[in-house]
């Protein structure tokens, strides 16, 4: 198949556009998509946009596409990777994140859980009796925000793609659990102690990100986390949405847009106070992360040393 815009071989066929694209034209198409999504939400000239890179294809694609925009928009791009210490999976992810940083020419900060907490995510989860993914979510959310704060970043970008967001929203809608409204936004505003989020791949399909990462090519890890729940509702929701999309191209994007207009599940936003240990925003007296760390690491655990270690890790991004 030939590219619809030039004579080169196509890497992908975009069904809703009825166009085949070669790697260069796919990049152009995705850069324009990302530009539309992030427009008006980028850091000012000289400001830092921090991208959370997991080592996987999506955050690699997000970092690379944002790098394409950083020159003309004049913001600085930095990467941050949290090493969860999940055996060979984490080793592969860390290696890929470092290689990605080299390949796109962006500085990277590495936060090693065992280094900053003295325990990997599996150990933390076991000690508090929580499912690994649940503990992992709390740890990643907290550390990425802390890294962005310490680096003085204007925004924190994540690699969630259209399929991730649509599947999350469908699951939340079906189970009526959690407030998914903020997850359907391209960006969320920051406030004291919280760095605003950016979802540059909000309108980029998983297959588009994969083909882009393969054809560029970008370094990324193909390994799946051993704790990933292949029986989870979210994966089923993702497959269901893909099958609908196959018959109705454009369905996922319009599903999200329609859902984003509905009132959030669960009523009003909780009022945020401050965590009595770390001082960061929390809807309870103590934030979920500090509560979990006290249970996992003992009542003597204090967040001060962690904050210092994270500040040291991100110092090179400033």
Binding site for ligand SF4 (CB under 6 A): 132-133, 136-137, 225, 227-228
Q: State the nearest-atom distance from the C-beta of 54 to ligand SF4, in Å.
A: 7
Nearest-approach distance from CB 294 to Zn ion, in angstroms: 9
Collect all residues with Cβ–Cβ distance below 8 Å to 25 and sequence separation of at least 6: 3, 4, 5, 6
Told to check if 275 binds Zn ion by CB under 5 A, we report yes
Cα Rg of the chain (Å, integer): 20
- Mapped onto helix, strand or coil, the DSSP state of residue 90 is helix
20 counts as binding Zn ion under rule CB under 5 A: no
Q: Which of 22, 26, 52, 167 binds Zn ion (CB under 5 A)?
A: 22
Q: How far is the CB of 281 from Zn ion (least distance, A)?
A: 9
211 binds Zn ion (CB under 5 A): no
Instruction: State the nearest-atom distance from the C-beta of 207 to ligand SF4, in Å.
Output: 20
Q: Where are the alpha helices (DSSP H) in 39-131?
A: 57-73, 87-104, 113-117, 121-128
Q: Which is nearer to Zn ion, 149 or 290 (CB)?
A: 290
Cβ-based nearer residue to ligand SF4, 173 or 227: 227
Q: Which is nearer to ligand SF4, 77 or 225 (CB)?
A: 225
Asked if 167 and 238 count as a contact pair (C-beta separation under 8 A), the reply is yes
| Residues 187/63, Cβ–Cβ less than 8 Å | no
> Does a cis peptide bond (omega within 30 degrees of 0) precede residue 217?
yes
Burial class (CB in 10 A: 0-12, 13-18, 19+), 144: buried
Nearer to ligand SF4, 36 or 95 (CB): 95
69 vs 143, beta carbon nearer ligand SF4: 143
| Least Cβ distance, residue 290 to Zn ion (angstroms) | 3
Asked if residues 307 and 117 have their Cβ atoms less than 8 Å apart, the reply is no
72/45 Cα distance (integer angstroms): 10
From ligand SF4, Zn ion, none, which one binds at residue 275 (CB under 5 to 8 Å depending on kind)? Zn ion
- Binding-site partner at residue 50 among ligand SF4, Zn ion, none, CB < 5 to 8 Å by type: none
> Phi-psi category of 82—alpha, beta or left, where left has phi over 0 and alpha has psi -120 to 50?
beta
CB-CB neighbours of 278 under 10 Å: 21
Q: Which is nearer to Zn ion, 284 or 315 (CB)?
A: 284
Helix H or strand E encompassing 184? none
Q: In the bound complex, what is the minimum distance in angstroms from residue 246's beta carbon to ligand SF4?
A: 26
CB of 59 vs ligand SF4, minimal distance in Å: 12
Select the binding partner of residue 38 from Zn ion, ligand SF4, none (C-beta < 5 to 8 A, by kind): none
Q: Which is nearer to Zn ion, 7 or 176 (CB)?
A: 7
Structure tokens at 240: 């269901």
Of all residues in the chain, what percent are helix, strand and coil, respectively (each to 5)?
A: 50, 10, 35
CA dihedral (156, 157, 162, 168) positive or negative: negative
Nearer to ligand SF4, 133 or 244 (CB): 133
**Residue 22's binding partner out of ligand SF4, Zn ion, none, with CB under 5 to 8 Å set by partner kind:** Zn ion
The least CB distance from residue 144 to ligand SF4, in Å, is: 13
Interface ranges with Zn ion (CB under 5 A): 3, 5-6, 8, 22, 25, 275, 277-278, 287, 290
């Amino acid at each position: 198949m030939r590219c619809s815009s030039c004579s080169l071989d196509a890497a992908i066929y975009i069904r809703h556009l009825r166009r085949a694209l070669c790697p260069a034209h796919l990049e152009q198409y995705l850069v324009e998509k990302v530009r539309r999504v992030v427009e008006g939400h980028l850091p000012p000239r000289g400001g830092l946009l921090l991208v959370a890179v997991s080592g996987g294809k999506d955050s690699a694609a997000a970092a690379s596409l944002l790098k394409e925009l950083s020159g003309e928009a004049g913001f600085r791009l930095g990467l941050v990777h949290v090493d969860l210490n999940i055996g060979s999976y984490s080793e592969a992810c860390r290696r890929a994140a470092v290689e990605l940083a080299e390949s796109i020419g962006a500085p990277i900060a590495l936060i090693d859980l065992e280094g900053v907490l003295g325990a990997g995510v599996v150990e933390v989860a076991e000690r508090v009796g929580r499912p690994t993914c649940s503990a992992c979510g709390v740890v990643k959310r907290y550390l990425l925000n802390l890294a962005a704060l310490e680096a003085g970043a204007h925004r924190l970008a994540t690699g969630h793609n259209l399929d991730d967001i649509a599947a999350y929203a469908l699951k939340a809608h079906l189970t009526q659990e959690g407030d998914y409204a903020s997850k359907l936004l391209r960006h969320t505003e920051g406030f004291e102690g919280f760095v605003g989020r950016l979802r540059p791949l909000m309108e980029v399909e998983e297959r588009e990100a994969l083909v882009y990462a393969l054809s560029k090519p970008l370094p990324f890890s193909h390994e799946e986390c051993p704790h990933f729940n292949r029986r989870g509702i979210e994966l089923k929701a993702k497959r269901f949405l893909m099958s609908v999309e196959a018959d109705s191209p454009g369905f996922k994007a319009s599903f999200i847009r329609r859902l984003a207009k509905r009132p959030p599940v669960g009523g009003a936003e909780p009022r945020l106070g401050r965590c009595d240990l770390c001082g960061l925003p929390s809807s309870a007296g103590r934030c979920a992360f500090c509560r979990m760390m006290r249970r996992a690491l003992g009542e003597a655990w204090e967040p001060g040393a962690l904050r210092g270690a994270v500040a040291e890790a991100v110092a090179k991004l400033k």
